[in-house]
Amino acid sequence: MTQVISHDETAKTAAVRPQLVSIQYLRAIAALTVLVTHALQWPLGGGHDVLVNTGRLGVEIFFVLSGFIITVIGGPGSFAPFDFARNRILRIVPMYWLATFVVIGLALAMPSSFRNTVPTLEGVFKSLAFIPSEMPKAPLLLLGWTLNFEMFFYLVFGSLFFLKAGTRTAVIAVFFLALMAAGSLLQHPSHVQAFYTSYSLLGFVVGAGVGRLYQLGWLQRLGGRAMAGLTIAGALALTAFYLITLGSESGRYLPLFHLSMSFAAMSIVVAAIRAEAEGRLPQIPLLRFLGDASYSLYLFHLFAVAGVWAIAPKLLGPVSLLTYPPLTLLAVASGLASGVLAYWYLERPVLEWTRRRRHLAAPNVLRTERTL
């Protein structure tokens, strides 16, 4: 999150709040976690739940960050809903659509390499409109499901524009918890019903709660004992998360799985924000840059990772214990390069263009720059 300006501040009187560097660091770490997980897991096929769920923990950090950021930029009172919706759309949609069209192009050009991704007009429409679908498959982009959750959270948050921050956060929490409770009672839910009542909504609830505590200043004033207790609880939650992952009947403990994962992600986010508030956060320019590039890195790394693991066996033969480590490093480096290049040559120009358009159209708006 770069500059956060509340909706009722003008360009002349706005007191620009400084960037939370901790948020940028966390975005970089979350994106790198997903990248490394995919690079390690791609040639191994199914299974390997511990590895896959490590990447899922990275996604959960993104969800908690999203709940935090959107709550903070929403300000203490009401905000302009159309400005909010426009800023969210301009921030999320262009790069996501571009990545989706890349998938469509590759799937049409190399259908044998995309057996589970067959573009149809309905599937393309639902992918671009953030509508989850099982048949036809949507989203077509593998990681697009997370953006579907993001847009749903934005829709709910934006619809509560008339409420004060505390009430808005409480309503979101009650609504999402009610959806999750309803989902647990459904016997044979449809794909759409299962999606919108998923326990994955919990990360946004937790993040919104942290954002509200930050707005009130309580998070910044947490004492040493409270932070120590939270750190221990977070470590226990992380341990529980991996123990459940290792369990042969982990599906029976799905609520506990998500609860432990969300709490662990929240603990990581709070610890980073608190370290920055106390001046204990080191300056790491590379990590901050990767935080800026995290959205492009998240969207585009898979193309490079898949390319490495598709081409390497054809050149070197089947993957072995000898070739797996260097090829994994190559996949990570390639995914990192693709994300950075996409950020520098595509996302940055788009951000600058949309930012200029927003400022020309309405100088007094809720500005949300570089937020996921």
Print pLDDT tens along the chain (372 aa): 333 433 333 333 333 345 799 999 999 999 999 999 999 999 987 667 889 899 999 999 999 999 999 999 999 999 999 999 999 999 999 999 999 999 999 999 988 777 778 899 999 999 999 999 999 999 999 999 999 999 999 999 999 999 999 999 999 999 999 999 999 999 899 999 999 999 999 999 999 999 999 999 999 888 889 999 999 999 999 999 999 887 655 566 889 999 999 999 999 999 999 999 999 999 999 999 999 999 999 999 999 999 999 999 999 999 999 999 999 999 999 999 999 999 999 999 999 988 887 666 554 434 434 444
Q: How far apart are CA 42 and CA 37, in angstroms?
A: 8
Q: How far apart are CA 271 and CA 257, in angstroms?
A: 21
Q: Tell me whether residue 344 is in a domain.
A: yes
Q: How far apart are CA 281 and CA 269, in angstroms?
A: 13
Domains identified in the chain, total number: 1
Q: Tell me whether residue 203 is in a domain.
A: yes
Q: Tell me whether residue 305 is in a domain.
A: yes
What is the domain range of residue 299? 4-88+146-160+198-368
Q: Tell me whether residue 287 is in a domain.
A: yes
pLDDT the model gives residue 362: 52
Q: Tell me whether residue 104 is in a domain.
A: no
Q: Tell me whether residue 231 is in a domain.
A: yes
Q: Tell me whether residue 165 is in a domain.
A: no
Q: Tell me whether residue 94 is in a domain.
A: no
